[in-house]
Amino acid sequence: MAGPAMQQPSFLLANLKIDSTTKPFLQCCQELVKIIDDYPAKELHLIFPWLVESVFGSLDGVIVGWNLRFLQACSNQYNIVMDFLNPSGPMMKLVYKLQAEDYKYEIPVSFLPLHFPLSGLSLDSAYFVLVDTYLKYFLPTEGSVPPSPFTNKRGSVSPPAPRAPSVPFAGYGTHSTSLLKRHISHQPSVTADPAAQEIWRSEALLQVFVEMWLHHYSLEMYQKLQSPQVKVRINILICACVHAPFFHLKHEPFTPTEEHVLVVRLLVKHLHAFSCSLKPEQVSSSAHSHTSPLEELKRVVVHRFVQQKLYVFLQHCFGHWPLDASFRVVLETWLSYIQPWRYTGEKTNPQTDQNKGVPEKWSLFVQENLLMYTKLFQGFLNRVVRTDLVNVKNALMVFRVAKVFAQPNLSEMIQKGEQLFLEPEHVLHHRQHRCFLSPGHGGSFLSARQPVVTDRVFRVKSHVYGLEGQDCQYKQMFGTELRGTVLKLIQIIDQARQTAKKISDQSAEVAANNSFMSWFGMGSPDLNYTFNGGEVDDTGACVKTHEFLERSLDYLCQIFRLNAGQLSQLMATLGSGQDDGNSKQLPDSVQGEKGLILTDLGRMQVINGLRRFEIEYQGDPELQPIRSYENAILVRLFFKISSLVNERFGGHMDALCSRSDFLGQLGRHYLASPEAAADGRSPETRVTAERNRRPRLSLRMLASYRTLLMLLLLYLFGALFSSGPMSSTLLILTGGVIKTCTSILTSMGKENVGFWQK
C-alpha cells in the first residue's frame, strides 16, 4: 500500500494535538482512522503514547481521556468510542501494526493502574462493555480467535519466550521497574502451528487483566507466596490497548470498591463459560496430545491463571469488607467461582436445578478448589455471626450461601476432598521428588506444560499447600470445631427470625390501621413507620426476612445433616434461657470500671434486635429537651414561674409534704419529687439528686398541646352553658381537686382495711 507524502513526525503529532482541542469528536476519530490506515508503523509509533493517553487518561490523572467508566449508551459519543476501541477496530489495528514491526513500550510499576476509584460505575458503561467484548473476542466460547491482520517481516508475530527462572516475582515490596516485562524471541517460525502463533494473544490479555484486577497482596501474604513451593513467576506481554482508567498504585492497605469486584466477577463468569465450552472428547487426559492450543487453554485457564490470585483477593475481601449489605458483590463473585456448572451454556431453571444436584464430573473441580469452598465458607461464618440478620439484605446473603452449599452432592464432594487431604503423608513418600506445584508456576502456561498428576490425594494436597503454605493448619468444614460455630449461627438465625417475624406482624397491623384511618385523613404520613421486609429471591418472588431465615435454617440442616430432633433440641436449649420478656432484658454484659461492657453474646443480641438498652431521659424532667408536642414559649414561661414559686415557698412545701394526714397526701400528690431522681441509674451528682428529690411545683404539663386542647374544649363546653372564663376556670380546678381527693380517700380506705385485716 502506497502511503501519503511523508510529514515530519513532530508535525503529525502536533497537528493531532491541535485538532483534538479544536475539532468535533467525530471528526477527530475519523481523521485518526485515516491516519492509522495510511501511515506506516515508523510514523505511527511516535503518536501511539499520546493516543493512549488521550483515550484512557494520563498516568498522573491530569488528563481524563474519554471517560470510559461513565460513558453510557445514551451518549452521542458511545457508538463512536465503541467502534474505535473494538477488538477489530482502528485502535487494535494500530497495536497490530506496531507489533508487527517490533516497537516496544514500557510502563513503570509505579504507574500501573491497579484499582478503581470510588464512583457510581454501572454495568452498562463503555468500560464494562469493552471488557466483556475483549473477553469474548480473545477467549471465545465458540470458534477460534481471529488471526492478527498484520505480520512481521519474517511472516509471523512471535509469541513471548518463557522467562528465565532467575527473574523474580514483581509483587508487594519489590523495587522492580516493570511488572510486565516483554521477552520475545524473534526467530523465524515458518513451521510453527498458526493456531499456536495466535493463542499467545489470548494468554497475554488474560494475564494482563489478572495482574491489574487481582494483584493485591498484603505483606504477610506476599511473604507466604515467596516460599519455594508457592513462588510465582510472571512472563507476559502487555498490550497497550488494555491500559485501563484506574488510579495509580499506592503502597497503602488495599480496599477494593464494588465496581472493582463487579469487573472481577465478569472475568470469573466468562472464564467459566470459556472453560465449559471445551469439547467433550477433549476433556479426557488421553486426548491431550491431539488438542488444539485453544482447547488446551480452556482446560487449564481457571486453575492456572485465576485460582491463586482470586483466592487471595476474596480472602482479603472477606476479612476487610464492611459488615453491611454491600458485601453482596463479593459474595456473588465467590458463589460464581464455586459453581462453574452454572455456565455450561445449558438452559437452567433455579427450581429444578436445586433438586437435580451437582453432576459427579465436577468433583475434581471441587477437590482442586477445596479452600475456595471450606476456608471461605468459614470466613463467611465469621462475618455472619457479627451481622444484623434482621436486615433483609443480610438475611438474603445467608440464604444465598446456604442454598448453594445445600445443592445435592456438593457437601459430599467437599467432604470427600477433605478426606483426601487428610490422607496420611506416608502414602506420598514415593513421590517426594515431585514438589507441590502452585497454580501460577512456570512461564507461558501453554508451553512446557507440567505432567498430568492422576493421584487426587496429591492434587488436593498440592492445592492446599500451594495456597496456604506447607505449615498450614487446616480446619475441617465438617469437623467438630466448625460444627460448634454452625450451631451458634443456627441459634442466631432463629433468634433473628423470631424478631423479624414480630416486626413483620407489627408492620402488617400498622399498615392495616393506616389503611383504615386514611379514609378519614388520619393515616400516618411517615412512610418509614412501616417495615418493608421484602426482597426478591432467585425465582423473582418477593420474600420477607423471616422467610429467608427459615429457608436458611432448612438448608443448613441439610448441609450439616441435622435432623428435626437435633434442631428442636437446639431451639429448646436456646429458649430455656429466655423468658417471655426477653426483649425487655438488658443485653449480656459485664461490669467494667466505666460501666457495662458488652460481651460477644451481648453484641449479637444488640445487632439482631433481641435485647437492647432502654434509652430514656434520667435527669431533671424540668430540664429535658422541649418535645415536639410542647409549645416552646409556654415551656420556658412556666419554668420561670414554677422556679420562682419553688424558690420562695420551698420551705412551706417541705413542711406540707412531711405531714402524715390528708393534707400531707394532697401536697405529695401535687408536689411530688420527680420519679427519675429516685431511679438510681442517672449519672447526676449527689447535690443535684438531693435538690431534685425536694417537693416542688411543676407547670410544664400545661405547655403540652394535648392539655391545651383539652382546656380549650372544656372552655367551649362551658360557653355553651353561658359560663364565663372565670367560672369555667373555677369549675375545672374544683373538678380536679375533687377527683384527687376521691383517689386519696380511696387509697387511705384500702390501707385502713388492710391494717385491720392484719
Q: Write out pLDDT tens, residues 296-353.
A: 899 999 999 999 999 999 999 999 999 999 999 999 999 999 999 999 887 766 566 6
pLDDT computed for residue 250 by the predictor: 39
pLDDT band (50, 70, 90) for residue 240:
very low
- Look-up of cell digits 400498622: 510
**pLDDT, tens only, 11-62:** 888 889 898 889 999 999 999 999 999 998 888 988 998 998 899 887 677 7
pLDDT band (50, 70, 90) for residue 454:
very low
Cross-strand pairs, 113: 248
Average pLDDT over residues 694-713: 88
Interstrand relation of 542-544 and 534-536 (parallel, antiparallel or unpaired): antiparallel
Could you tell me which of 436, 117, 147 has the C-alpha nearest to residue 247? Answer: 117
Say whether pLDDT at 678 is over 50. Answer: no
pLDDT computed for residue 584 by the predictor: 56
pLDDT band (50, 70, 90) for residue 269:
very high
Could you tell me which of 675, 650, 655, 670 has the C-alpha nearest to residue 744? Answer: 670
Say whether pLDDT at 102 is over 90. Answer: no
Say whether pLDDT at 400 is over 90. Answer: yes
Reported in sequence order, the residue ranges of 609-702 that DSSP labels E, i.e. its strands, are none
Tell me which of 323 and 684 has the higher pLDDT: 323
Most confident residue range from 265-274, 442-451, 485-494: 265-274
Say whether pLDDT at 420 is over 80. Answer: yes
Most confident residue range from 404-418, 519-533, 702-716: 404-418
pLDDT band (50, 70, 90) for residue 591:
confident
Average pLDDT over residues 365-380: 96
Question: Measured between alpha carbons, how far is 664 from 676 in angstroms, rounded to an integer?
Answer: 22
pLDDT computed for residue 231 by the predictor: 38
The set of cell numbers assigned to 248 is 495509580
Say whether pLDDT at 261 is over 90. Answer: yes
Each as own residue / partner, the long-range contacts of residues 63-68 (CB below 8 Å, 24 or more positions apart, any chain) are 65/245, 66/126, 67/245, 68/125, 68/126, 68/127, 68/130, 68/245
Most confident residue range from 259-273, 340-354, 607-621, 740-754: 259-273
Lowest mean pLDDT among 117-126, 127-136, 214-223, 406-415: 214-223
| CB contact at 8 A, 402 and 555 | yes
Say whether pLDDT at 679 is over 50. Answer: no
CA torsion through residues 50, 55, 57, 63, sign: positive
What's phi and psi for 140, nearest 5 deg? -75, 140
Please check whether residue 26 lies inside any domain of the structure: yes
- Look-up of cell digits 485518526: 32
Please check whether residue 49 lies inside any domain of the structure: yes
Question: Measured between alpha carbons, how far is 537 from 548 in angstroms, rounded to an integer?
Answer: 9
pLDDT computed for residue 380 by the predictor: 96
Could you tell me which of 125, 138, 129, 61 has the C-alpha nearest to residue 95? Answer: 138
Say whether pLDDT at 545 is over 60. Answer: yes
Question: Measured between alpha carbons, how far is 677 from 682 in angstroms, rounded to an integer?
Answer: 7
Task: Classify 247 as helix, strand or coil.
Answer: strand
Please check whether residue 75 lies inside any domain of the structure: yes
Please check whether residue 680 lies inside any domain of the structure: no
pLDDT computed for residue 691 by the predictor: 57
The set of cell numbers assigned to 185 is 524471541
Please check whether residue 118 lies inside any domain of the structure: no
**CA distances to 87, 189, 191, 199, 638 from 155, in Å:** 22, 8, 11, 16, 99
Tell me which of 361 and 244 has the higher pLDDT: 361
Say whether pLDDT at 680 is over 50. Answer: no
Neighbours of 305 (CB within 10 A): 22
- The DSSP letter of residue 184 is B
**How open is the CA angle 396-543-340, to the nearest 5 degrees?**
45
Lowest mean pLDDT among 106-115, 311-320, 367-376, 434-443: 434-443
Please check whether residue 436 lies inside any domain of the structure: no
pLDDT band (50, 70, 90) for residue 558:
very high
pLDDT band (50, 70, 90) for residue 362:
very high
Say whether pLDDT at 523 is over 70. Answer: no
Average pLDDT over residues 347-376: 85
**pLDDT, tens only, 58-82:** 767 778 889 888 889 889 999 999 9
pLDDT band (50, 70, 90) for residue 248:
very low
The set of cell numbers assigned to 321 is 469488607
Average pLDDT over residues 516-527: 46
CA torsion through residues 478, 483, 487, 493, sign: negative
Q: What is the mean pLDDT of the chain?
A: 76
Cross-strand pairs, 544: 534
Please check whether residue 748 lies inside any domain of the structure: yes
Say whether pLDDT at 272 is over 70. Answer: yes
pLDDT computed for residue 167 by the predictor: 36
Residue range(s) defining the domain that contains residue 74:
10-103
Say whether pLDDT at 262 is over 90. Answer: yes
Domain boundary residue among 53, 86, 103? 103
Average pLDDT over residues 136-157: 74
- The DSSP letter of residue 454 is -
Domain boundary residue among 103, 129, 146? 103
Could you tell me which of 270, 273, 250, 274 has the C-alpha nearest to residue 262? Answer: 270
The set of cell numbers assigned to 554 is 432448612
Say whether pLDDT at 724 is over 90. Answer: no
pLDDT computed for residue 348 by the predictor: 66
Domain boundary residue among 103, 127, 146? 103
- Look-up of cell digits 446456604: 402
Average pLDDT over residues 136-143: 92
Domain count for the chain:
2
Task: Classify 215 as helix, strand or coil.
Answer: coil
Question: Measured between alpha carbons, how far is 701 from 721 in angstroms, rounded to an integer?
Answer: 27
Lowest mean pLDDT among 504-513, 516-525, 704-713: 516-525
Question: Measured between alpha carbons, how far is 663 from 741 in angstroms, rounded to an integer?
Answer: 10
What's phi and psi for 611, nearest 5 deg? -140, 160
Question: Measured between alpha carbons, how far is 158 from 185 in angstroms, rounded to an integer?
Answer: 7
Question: Measured between alpha carbons, how far is 711 from 708 in angstroms, rounded to an integer?
Answer: 5
Question: Measured between alpha carbons, how far is 754 from 559 in angstroms, rounded to an integer?
Answer: 64
pLDDT computed for residue 436 by the predictor: 47
Residues comprising the chain, all counted: 758
Say whether pLDDT at 397 is over 90. Answer: yes
Please check whether residue 725 lies inside any domain of the structure: yes
Q: What percent of the chain has pLDDT over 70?
A: 67
Could you tell me which of 617, 586, 602, 625 has the C-alpha nearest to residue 683? Answer: 617
Could you tell me which of 439, 435, 425 has the C-alpha nearest to residue 467? Answer: 439
Average pLDDT over residues 152-166: 47
